[in-house]
Amino acid sequence: MQFRFTTAGESHGPALVTIIEGVPAGMPFDKAAIDHELWRRQQGYGRGGRMKIESDTVRILSGVRHGKALGSPIALMIENRDFVHWEDIMSAEELETQPKNPRLVKRPRPGHADLPGGQKYQARDLRDILERASARETAARVAAGAVAKQLLDHFGVTIRSHVAKLGAVPENPIVASWEQISAISADAPLACVDKEIEAEMVAHVDEAKANGDTLGGIFEVVAHGLPVGLGSHTSWEEKLDGRIARAMMSIHAVKAVEIGDGVANAGRFGSEVHDEIFSSNGNFERRTNRAGGLEGGITNGEELRVRGYLKPISTLRKALNSVDIDTKEDSPAAFERSDITAVPAAGVIGEAMLAIVIANSMREKFGGDSLSEMRRNFDSYVSTVRSY
């Protein structure tokens, strides 16, 4: 059994939808917890006007009865409140009369899917591309990820994130403990563990805003409480770090992924990198975790740490040069409204994607049609590993 999901929906269409498979029957289903994750994704200093319009919540369409999962596909829907302003432009039916302001997009934004998407799909209105390329889609991923988190909760696995760097601040990504990350308050402006650095980050966002510019940054996601043995060294597709990297890279604007201290480790001696193994009352012990919880593509029981590196958002008020796809003349790229930065939101999305990859790995390893069957398999495996 796999835990898997798909999403559908355009940014200014009627709704986003996700269908999730592989949730074991009998799992208590907490809608409020999903809505809370959606709320978290909408926070963060530097978000644009759209977040004032949307207030994302899910409607459960299938797969849940009397508060428990049935084991069947779960369909969740998130309405786009903004759709009321776009009904004719985003209409599924052919229009008899063109809207007064059709808001055609003809000037592709450098860095966005606009131009290669337009060329590939032969779109003469680049809205056909940008509506689906928009990071709005990640609301549906966060809903699916919130369900994965609920499953992981039953096995003692918790996932959180923090912003390690916002644009150029600070120079080196912040190193934060699980306790520090867990203590970040839900309304912190930039999900940073250090209040002074966070104030500098806020000023950096203000600077970008004043210049009509945008910023990227680095988020770190940490999974706490993982069992040893998720993923496998036996084949490339089974390596958990490979699966995690793919999931993280699929998040909008993520351009690099790092596990543990992977980037810094590339410039160090082996003796400075590998986490030595010590004996402690008949158990194995690590005193460092530079590997980020994975060795040979297998979880080793330490915290799993993954960083996502985001490029700056590609919709700039200070528009970059582009070319009109009809006239072929140089003209500034399209701008309607945009976020200045979305690194804290990307962290929440990173949590969701990591939760989904780990939930899938747990479903593959422990199987079971019901939560209690999965639990028995899990407990028996964990006690086998303990006696190793």
Binding site for ligand EPS (CB under 6 A): 11, 48, 50, 54, 130, 134-136, 139, 315, 336-339
Residue of 75, 79, 31 whose CA lies nearest to 55: 79
Least Å distance between CB 66 and ligand EPS?
31
Least Å distance between CB 338 and ligand EPS?
5
Q: What are phi and psi of 116, to 5 degrees?
A: -60, -35
96 DSSP 8-state letter: S
Strand runs (DSSP E) across 158-301, as ranges?
Answer: 158-166, 217-224, 254-259, 277-280, 283-286, 294-295, 298-299
Residue 248 or 304 having the CB closest to ligand EPS: 248
Q: What are phi and psi of 275, to 5 degrees?
A: -80, 110
Least Å distance between CB 26 and ligand EPS?
32
Residue 260 or 344 having the CB closest to ligand EPS: 344
28 DSSP 8-state letter: B
Q: Which residue is nearest to ligand EPS (CB)?
A: 50
Least Å distance between CB 105 and ligand EPS?
11
Residue 297 or 308 having the CB closest to ligand EPS: 308
What is residue 293's three-state secondary structure?
A: coil
Least Å distance between CB 52 and ligand EPS?
10
Least Å distance between CB 116 and ligand EPS?
15
Residue 335 or 381 having the CB closest to ligand EPS: 335
Helix, strand, coil % (nearest 5) of the chain? 35, 20, 45
Least Å distance between CB 42 and ligand EPS?
7
Residue 336 or 369 having the CB closest to ligand EPS: 336
Contact 240, 299 (CB under 8 A): yes
Contact 296, 242 (CB under 8 A): no
Provide the token pair at 70: 């049935």
Strands 294-295 and 158-166: unpaired
Residue 46 or 293 having the CB closest to ligand EPS: 46
Contact 47, 138 (CB under 8 A): no
End-to-end CA distance of the chain: 27
In the numeric block, the tokens 């998407």 are attached to: 117
Cβ-based neighbours of 46, under 8 Å, separated by 6 or more: 190, 205, 208, 209, 215, 339, 340, 341, 342
Residue 87 or 336 having the CB closest to ligand EPS: 336
Least Å distance between CB 361 and ligand EPS?
27
Residue 50 or 149 having the CB closest to ligand EPS: 50
